[in-house]
Structure 1
Amino acid sequence: MSTAPSLAGKRPSTLRGASLPKWAPWAIGAASIALGFGISTAAGLASDIQWALIAALLYVIGTYVISAWIENRRQAKDRVVTSMVWVAFLLAVVPLASLVWSTVQRGIKVLDGYFLTHSMGVVADSEPGGGIYHAILGTLEQVGLATLIAAPIGVLTAIYLVEYGRGSLARAVTFFVDVMTGIPSIVAGLFILSIMLMFEMEPFGFAGSLALAILMMPVVVRSTEEMLKLVPNELREASLALGVPKWRTIMKVVLPTSLGGIITGIMLSIARIAGETAPVLLLVFGSKFINSNPFDGAQASLPLYIYQQYGSGEAPAYDRAWAASLTLIAFVMILNMVARGIARWKAPKTGR
């Protein structure tokens, strides 16, 4: 007769071992910052970047050691990877936040209604006053014309690659789109400049729009192509099964389904070219006066205005350059917010 072993006095088995409390990462982070600051002070390191990197390294090492001691090595490795992700996130966000803060702090000095509604005119770089109205007008016209050129060509190219593209021609188009994606902006400006020199043309705003359109086109093609690929093939097949021609299926089914993503890609590509300086410097040349005709004469733009004002070396010009930089950042941020809003508005609705 066998007797079952008694379980009295034994601890119940569990699959979970000891674990760090939820506040442990914060405590390790605070200790790492204090220790990193102390080490940098003792070593005489004047740079904030150096002690921040030391603190980040101590945080990763401290997380692994404490987790391996209290928990286990497997959990420690998991926590180390998580801590490295957080460190990488902070390394990316801190410079961006510092840039935005510095721009706001320095640009807010002269940024007001007068600055936004007046041009430089006869104001010298060494004198206070003046504004960026002529630069805002030039940027809107040049970027708008570039969008009118690049957006239709880019969308139609993407439709061809996704819906019709087969064989060597499609591969060649894809190859050149990939090449154009990595073209430096100065090369696009030199290409248009060479054409202008052939025909002995003077600088004018539309020339800058052509260079910006070259830079914008591959971005529109790639973003639109990815959006079209996300449309389920079942929708295309259902439309074709009803006898609808392929071109009408694209117009009535494919494009409306992916419209939100396409518009978002176009808006982001506009934000990408809005800050280009090199093509505008070569082709538009800049002007202190208001020129509302992009097809005749030199014209200003915000990136070029910032470059010229900061390059003058005068204190009032520095303030105007920072204020124009803040305006340009606000313009790009507004475009990104609009793109996100359109993406959410046009996103497919699930459920009730």
Structure 2
Amino acid sequence: MNRKTETGRRSFGMLAALLAGLGLASAATTAQAQAKPGAEPIRIGALLSTTGGIAQVGLAEREGVLLAQKVLNARGGINGRPLEIVMEDDASSPDSAVAKVNALLFTEKVRAIVGPSGIAQTVAIGGITQAQKVPLFAFSGVGPAVERQRTCVFHLTPSQELNARAVLSYARDNGARRIGVLHDSGYGQVVWNSMKGLDREYGVNFVQVEKFEIAATDVTTQAAKVKAASPDAIIIISTSAAPFRNVRQLKVNVPIISVHGTATYETVKAMGDAADNIIHPEFIVSEDPLPSQKAFVDAYRAEYGKLPKHFSAAGWDAVMALAEGFRNAGADASGEKLCTALRRPFQGATTRYDFAATDMGGLTLASFTYSRLQKGQFVRLPYAAAKP
């Protein structure tokens, strides 16, 4: 089955040191007393894209998931029971996700699932988990209308329409009216589909829109057409470094606004000098974390020796939200009762969620933090998006 069960077997001393560093020394010193010897683990599944086209996303989520498991178990688990995670890789494929989720549900008998990483996988498996009343914490925003009927599928990232609104809010509020758009044929196309009908609402004009293939390594031709339209700002919707480099090579001097999917250290490193001054509507600026984010940022840096971004934070949030649900519903609660217990507000490291909202995530424009890249570092901007 190619699975790996993660049980957090590092020494308690190392975990105690980590928790002490987070200001949780009391939890560390009492964890052994809280844990029940021989207590049956609470078993959940993690279905992530750790290989394939969106592996960069899935691997970051995996780091957050495993860190949350480690910290929870060091605190004494969930009501004295350790958390066990059965890890599966869907290889960025919806078909593989269906096979893997069936194995998690019917062979591994997991109580809940964190993942998948991609929206296509979430749509594919959400009907299966919903029918079984097994909570699914998806790392995607609500998509097709059918998802709104799935009351046990929770969403940890914004919908593509909300992503589009976050970008357009910044453009409008900073005086850009003539907008050029460069987007790829994958993720970029999905966001653009949500953005293209919002021009009148936001008082902007899309003066030139250019599409490029998701695997393209040079989009100079498309970038030149956007430049020739003399836009006030350029929106680039892609997780590829190529369009950003090409726009800079053409010496385009108007603001460049991207989307939260680009706001990772790996992506901006691939851009080189082209990353400077790009604006991102995102969620966690680890160089300057909000008070609700600091414990997670400190734990992540202590564990991995680097700063986290929102994909890892979402992995942490999924596990922590589930743990709270088990505490409220009871470790042996039915799936339906657990789903009901989860449908409430939750303060995560990423943002504050409302899993009782109609989109089962509750993110709004106010959820976004805005940053500007400066020499590979994210700098928080004094800007908050408002409704049109």
Provide TM-score, normalisation by structure 1: 0.25
Structure with higher strand content: 2
Higher helix proportion (structure 1 or 2): 1
The structure whose Rg is larger is 1
TM norm structure 2: 0.23
